[in-house]
Structure 1
Amino acid sequence: MTMTTSKGFKITDADRKTRVGVAAKNIDELKTKTIQKFKLQLTPSEIRFQLSDGTFVESDEYLQTLKAQTLLIWVKQGECAQTDAEILYKTIREVNNEYLTAGEKVQEFFTENMKSKVYKLAELLRGIDDAKAKISVKCEHPEWFEGLDTTAKTKEDYMFRRAQDRIRTYFYKTREELRKRSDLPQEKLQFLLFELHNRLKNSKYNGHYFDRRKYNENDILRCICDKDGNFICQGRWDKEQCFYNASHMINPYKSREERVVFQCWNLDHVKERSRSIIPAICDALKKESSLENGDATVLLSTQVLLDVKSIYNDLFTTKNIKLVHIMCHDKGAHSNKAGPYIML
C-alpha cells in the first residue's frame, strides 16, 4: 500500500554521524532520495532501512504506520546497524572501563556477558529513582522520553506501541516469506493473510503486552508485566522459568536507561516462526487444496479446514511467545514442532 501523500522521515547512516530529512510516498522513493542525499554508489536494491530498535522496515504498509519524522537508519543489504541498547552498553563500557575494572567486586560483576548485566550497570552508574517508575505522564518525567520520536504523552502509550511494533513485524515477515512461495495455492494464502490481519487489527496488534495498565484484564488482554511495570524473564524456550539464580528482571518504566536496555529483551517463539510455523502453514495450505481438488465429496469450507486460530496463536500470542532476557534467547533450532494446522 502506497501513501497518497509524502511523509517526512529522518534518515541517518549506521554511524549516526549525518542526519538528513527525506520526504517520500513509499520505500522505493525513500531509497532513491537517500542514495541521492548521501551520494551513495549503490542501487536501491542494495540498501534497506532499520529502526533504532533493530526492526527492519521492509514494506510500504509498514512504512505507512510510522509516525512522521521517525528516525530511519539506512544499511546495506545483509548488514545491520547497532541498536540504541547496543550503543548504550558499548558507551558505558568504553567510557567507564577504568572505573569498572577496578576491584574484585566489579571484576566479578563482569564474569558474565555485558548484556546480562546492562540494566544493573545503568543503575550503578546513573542511579535509578524507583519512585519515578510510578509516574506516567511525560511532563512529570521528561528525561524518560529523551531521544524519542513519539507523540505519546504517557509511558504506557509508548510501551503499547512498542509491543505493537514487534507483533506487526512478525506479521510482515510472515507475509513476505509466504508470498515468496509460488507453490502455494494463492487464493487460500490470501484468505489466510486476510484473516490473520483482521484478527491483529481487532486485538490492536497485542499492544497490551507491554502496557502495565492492562494488569487486571482477562487472560487474553493482560499485559506480561506486573502493575508497576516489572517484567520477569520467562526462561528459555525449553524451560519453565528463567534458570539464572537471580531471575532476570527489568522495569522499562523506571528510567530512560532501562527503557533502552529493554530493547535487548526478546519475544521468543517457542515453536519457531521461520523453522517450524511457516513450513507447517505451507503444508496445511497444500493439504487443504489437495483435499478439495482430489475429492468432490469434500464439502468443508476453507474456514473449517484451515485452523486459522491456532496459526494466529502460534505467531502472535503468548500461547507460543515468551519474553526472555537476551541471555535466555536461544537462537539454535528448537525441537518443538508447529501444526498440523488442518481441522478434519
Structure 2
Amino acid sequence: MSALSRKPKTFKLRALHSQKKFGVAGRSCQEVLRKGCLLLQLPVPGSRLCLYEDGTELTGDYFWSVPDNAELVLLTKGQSWQGYVSDISCFLSMFHEPHAGLIQAARQLLSGERAPLRQKLLADLLHTVSENSGAETRAEDPPWFEGLESRFRSKSGYLRYSCESRIRSYLREVSCHAPAVGAEAREEYVRVVDAMGQKLRAAQYNGGYFDRGAKAGGRLCTPEGWFSCQNRKETHHRPHTG
C-alpha cells in the first residue's frame, strides 16, 4: 500500500523542554516535520523528530510502525533528547531547592499525565519535594510528628531512638536463638552474643546511623537525610523519613 493511499498518522508534537502539545498528522516523516516546524515556528533545515519516550529518532522506515498519537519532540540543529531522563533532568535543574513553584508544576504535569511510568515518576517526585525535610523540630513540622509520643522533640532524636530500638530487637532475636544451638557450641555462642551486646551498649546501639546530624563516619545517611540502599539486584535511594 502506497503512502498516499494510507490514512494520515496522527502525533502529539512538542518543542524541546515545552509542555505544550500540538496535534499533527501526516503521511510521511518529512510531512510531519514540515508541519511541526511551521506550527512551532522553527527552521526545517537541520531539524528532526524523536520519540518523547526514549529519544528514538523518527525516520521514514520507522514512521508507519509508530503507534497513532505517539508523542514526538521536534529538535532543531544541535539539540538532543534522551527520553524521560532529559525531561526530569531539565525539570530538576530549574530549582536548586524545592518550593511552591516546583510543587505546583509537578502537580499540573501529573494531573494531565496518562502514561503509567511517567505518572509514577511524577508522583514520586511530588512526594519527595513536598516533604519538609529541612525542618528538624516538632514546631517546624507538626505533621511529621503526628502519632509520636510528645517526648520526641526532633526528627533526629526520634530516628536515633528508632535505630536503637531496631538494633536492640535484633540483639534479642540473636540471644533467643541460643537454645537452638548445639550443646557443644552453645557456650561459645552465648559468650560471643554477650560480647557483642556489650559493644553495642557502649556504642549506644549505633543510634547515630539514622541521625543526619551525626558525624559522617557515624551515620548511614547524607546530611540531607538520604539513604543509599543496595542489594544484589538493585541500587536505589530512599529519603530520610522527614
Give me the TM-score of the superposition, normalised by structure 1.
0.34
Give me the TM-score of the superposition, normalised by structure 2.
0.46
Larger Rg: 2
